[in-house]
Chains A and B, each alone.
Chain A
Amino acid sequence: MQSIINLLTRAVFMSTPLILGALGEVVSERSGMMVCAVEGIFLGGAWGGFAGAYLSGGNLLVGFLSAMIVGLLVALLYGFTTIYMGQHQIVMGTAVAILMTGFCTFFYRVIFGTPTSPLKVSTLKKLPLGPLAKIPVIGQIVFSQNIITYIAWILVPLISYFIFRTANGLTLRSCGENPEAVDVAGINVRRVRILAVGFAGILGGVAGAYYSLCNVGMYTSEIISGRGWIAFGICFLGNWNPVGVLIYGVIFGICDALGNYVKALGTSVLPNELFSALPYLLVIIMTALRRSFNVPAKLGTNYIKEE
């Protein structure tokens, strides 16, 4: 029993960055912007977060703030080239993602050289929520997480409300469905889109830093290894809906935790590598099995207007 609780606690822990990244992706894709630079944003966040925290003597707040800034900058690089310069979204997004792998490795070495033993910061502490944490089972799984996890969960209803119940949310969704309708309604489509992309960048930056500052307390160039793409997939699987993102985020969190759990156990009938590959396999299988998609009609299409 305790091992299952441990597994689920770990699953919620590991699902947090996926949920954060996918929530940002939902907001940007609802505006028509397919931020496939998300892998690069995650990596930038992980790097920026670690660099900020390490250089400030282990201050995690500085770490997360610098992760947000790096994530935002990467997203804006992607946003300006696509929204304002009309470049193809997928090509540009992939290019930015590749750029970031080189960028992060290079500047890690510029700042820290090649240390013999990996540089470390202490990871973010758990924050049990007083009496709530004492509830059996749920208390440990849900209410004894770190603050980033709580923020991610609170963002789900907030973003849901924003998208579906507010005027700005309606504008956002309309940008993804028919930007021309937004334009003739007197709203600046490009501004809506760049704001949405910037928001995805900030959340993606935090998500990336979660791996370096909450999970392992250090930075390696393999730290993200495709988890940005999984967040990207979760946005699709969750049907561009924050609640859907939460559900699929937790499912992938379980996979992630299961891989680590089996590895830690050391004995298994199946090879460990299979469990490590589980999230990646799952995203392929589940995407292929999905039937009805609620894709924003103009997702991935730039809005170009003759002046």
Chain B
Amino acid sequence: MERKQNAQPPVVEIDHVSKRFAKVLANHEVSITLHRGEVVALLGENGAGKSTIMNILYGIYHMTSGEIRVDGVKQNITTPRDAMALGISMIQQHFSLVGAHTVTENIILGNVRGKIDYAAEEKKVQELSDRYQFGVDAKAKVGDLPVGMQQKVEIMKALYRNTRILIMDEPTAVLMPQEIDTLMEFIRSFVAQGNSVFFITHKMREVMQVADRIVIMRNGEVSGTVSKAEVQMADLARLMIGHDLEVLSRSEHDEKKEAVRLKVDHVTVERKNELPLLKDLNFEIHAGEIMGVAGVSGNGQDSLCELLYGALTPTSGTITLDGKDITHLNVAQHIALGVGYCASDRHRYGMVADMSLSENMMLKSSYLHRWDKGGWISWKSVDRYTRDKISQYSIKAPDAGVTIGSLSGGNQQKAVVAREVDMGQNFVIFDQPTRGLDLGAINYVHKTILGEREAGKSILLVSTELSEVFTLSDRIAVICEGKFMGIFRNGELTTEQIGMLMAGVPIEELPERENNAEEGGAADGLKGGQT
């Protein structure tokens, strides 16, 4: 849609702003404009400086040089309070909500003085929720609300302050597909009233869905500004990462021909007087097969991984790997049988940040004979092994002796993946293997996973990113509240249908499935861009 903006100055002009943290140049000469009634998407990989520049606009960080103008007037925004006075609000990626307080208390925080008239404030907040059809209860405790609702509370905080410039940092990261659509509708109607939105994301599909203009950032600089009408996804990807993405291909696979390696037979995990963590799981993974597990996070994925890794013992049922009963084996015995586990939170479960790359590489296998030389660890062989992995996985590290914490997130994850793939000679569990990684690293991890599949390993892939599940999996299991809603061949269901299963709608109640072929094709088309 063309707009005539010449009459009035842009709502926001960020003019050659630079920001330097102690050592790092986070933003370099960034210039972005935002007009009335416009959605500008900030697209870029992690660490590209998108959030930093927006946090400068919101007064959380202070710029090193440059200028910000609002409505054509130069402004010195030093605190969020200054930003709010100008009608700017920002919804952080990790919500800034007080879980123990009610919706109303969260919304009025910082916006009221003196005595609080709770009845009147609750009424006001409820009216706000009703006007936008958010369905949020003003008296509900925020900690009890699902994530999608919490985001609406964040939006209401901004609306309550009469925001006209709304900044949203990765707003869709935590949402289910249906919730994303609702959010997009809200954004469109919000700007239709003459407001403006900055939308930070690293997902190209969303950009195409909601933005009027797209600002692409790379290494702290603006690498391009394009209007949605004149751009292709492939171009966006190139602008984001600076080179073309390698297109992944997954050979077709007939699991019936391959031997069953992992077999989970009627497994339930429950603690006394509690809801079962996992309920009657029943599945097999064949050799050379990737089974994706789709679900909203917190629906038993963690327990499932722990179960298959031996950290959790089933209450009933059996698990076999290559015909051997592994139900009651402990973690060390699982490792010895060639089970690898790439945990979702590598900082907590995958690595020790202050230890060297070499030490991290043998973190789970320090007792193996391969490093052993007369009862002492042979650092020579550990370092040699680590250097091999550094070159094999093109990990950007100066040496095997540097602490793993000093590497970038993507390179840390590459190291952890390298170790786990090596440990898991038979079966590898990937739990959110690309969470928080940028496009290039995601591409690399995906390539590695597909490579392991070709090598005949069985792979379980847990992810809350549907696109990732679609790109890699042979079959897809949908998990909801510790139960499998069903297992389907990739392409059998549409994104929307999977989304509904994730939300707990039983398979029998799904709407018509006639458009499968077409929708599946669309999803395939997106894959190239999404990876």
Interfacial residues, chain A to chain B (CB-CB below 8 A): 165-167, 170-171, 173-174, 177-178, 180-188, 297, 305-307
Contact = CB atoms under 8 A, between A and B. Distances in A.
B507 to A, nearest CB: 39
Nearest to A307: B62
B110 interface: yes
Contact of B99 (A178, A185, A186, A307): A178
A171 B98 contact: no
A185 B98 contact: no
A187 B97 contact: no
A150 B106 CA distance: 35
Contacts of B99: 177-178, 297
B113 interface: yes
A171 B90 CA distance: 19
A170 B62 CA distance: 28
A305 B21 CA distance: 12
Contacts of B294: none
Contact of B81 (A177, A180, A186, A307): A186
Contact of B108 (A170, A181, A188, A305): A170
Contacts of A184: 58, 60, 80, 90, 92, 96
A307 B101 contact: no
B106 A181 contact: yes
A170 B96 contact: no
The 3 closest A-B pairs by CB, nearest first: A186-B81, A185-B110, A181-B96
Given A165-B115, A165-B116, A171 B96 contact: no
A183 B98 CA distance: 12
A166 B108 contact: no
Contact of A170 (B21, B83, B112): B112
Interface in B70-91: 79-84, 90
B79 A181 contact: no
A178 B97 contact: yes
Contact of A181 (B59, B61, B109, B113): B109
A167 B90 contact: no
Contacts of B109: 170-171, 174, 181-182, 185, 187
Contacts of A171: 109-110
B171 to A, nearest CB: 15
A305 B294 CA distance: 35
29 contacts: A165-B118, A166-B114, A166-B115, A167-B113, A167-B115, A170-B101, A170-B112, A170-B116, A171-B109, A173-B98, A173-B101, A174-B105, A178-B97, A178-B99, A180-B92, A180-B94, A181-B96, A182-B110, A184-B80, A184-B92, A185-B80, A185-B96, A185-B111, A186-B80, A186-B81, A186-B84, A187-B81, A306-B61, A307-B62
Contacts of B60: 183-184, 305
Contacts of A297: 99-100
Nearest to A162: B115
A169 B113 CA distance: 10
Query: Interface centre among B81, B94, B96, by most A CB within 10 Å?
Result: B96
The majority secondary structure among interface residues of chain B is loop
The majority secondary structure among interface residues of chain A is helix
Given A181-B106, A307-B61, 12 more contacts: A171-B109, A174-B98, A178-B99, A180-B92, A180-B94, A183-B96, A184-B60, A184-B90, A185-B80, A186-B84, A188-B79, A306-B61
Nearest to B96: A181
A166 B80 contact: no
A56 to B, nearest CB: 38
Contacts of A166: 114-116
Interface of B: 21, 58-62, 79-84, 90, 92, 94, 96-101, 105-106, 108-116, 118
B194 to A, nearest CB: 24
Contacts of A183: 60, 80, 96
Contacts of A180: 92, 94, 96
Contacts of B21: 306
Nearest to B94: A180
Contacts of B62: 307
A188 B59 CA distance: 12
Contacts of A182: 109-110
A187 B101 contact: no
A102 B252 CA distance: 78
A191 B335 CA distance: 51
A167 B79 contact: no
Nearest to B92: A184
A135 to B, nearest CB: 33
A260 B99 CA distance: 45
A198 B460 CA distance: 55
A177 B115 contact: no
Contact of B96 (A178, A305, A306): A178
A170 B100 CA distance: 12
Nearest to B157: A185
A173 B106 CA distance: 11
A177 B97 CA distance: 9
Nearest to A297: B100
A307 B62 CA distance: 7
B62 to A, nearest CB: 6
A165 B115 CA distance: 6
A20 B402 CA distance: 53
A181 B101 CA distance: 12
Contacts of A306: 21, 61
Given A174-B109, A186-B110, A306-B61, A181 B115 contact: no
Contact of B116 (A167, A177, A187): A167
Given A174-B98, A177-B100, A167 B112 contact: yes
Contacts of A185: 80, 96, 109-111
Contacts of A174: 98, 101, 105, 109
A165 B101 CA distance: 13
Given A183-B80, A306-B21, A307-B62, A177 B101 contact: yes
A167 B114 contact: yes
A99 B62 CA distance: 39
A182 B96 CA distance: 8
Contacts of B84: 186
Contacts of A181: 96-98, 106, 109
B83 to A, nearest CB: 8
Query: Interface centre among B92, B101, B109, B111, by most A CB within 10 Å?
Result: B109
Query: Interface centre among A180, A181, A307, by most B CB within 10 Å?
Result: A181
Nearest to A167: B112
A184 to B, nearest CB: 5
B474 to A, nearest CB: 42
Contact of B110 (A165, A173, A177, A187): A187
B230 to A, nearest CB: 36
B97 to A, nearest CB: 6
Nearest to B107: A185
A298 B99 CA distance: 12
Contacts of A305: 60
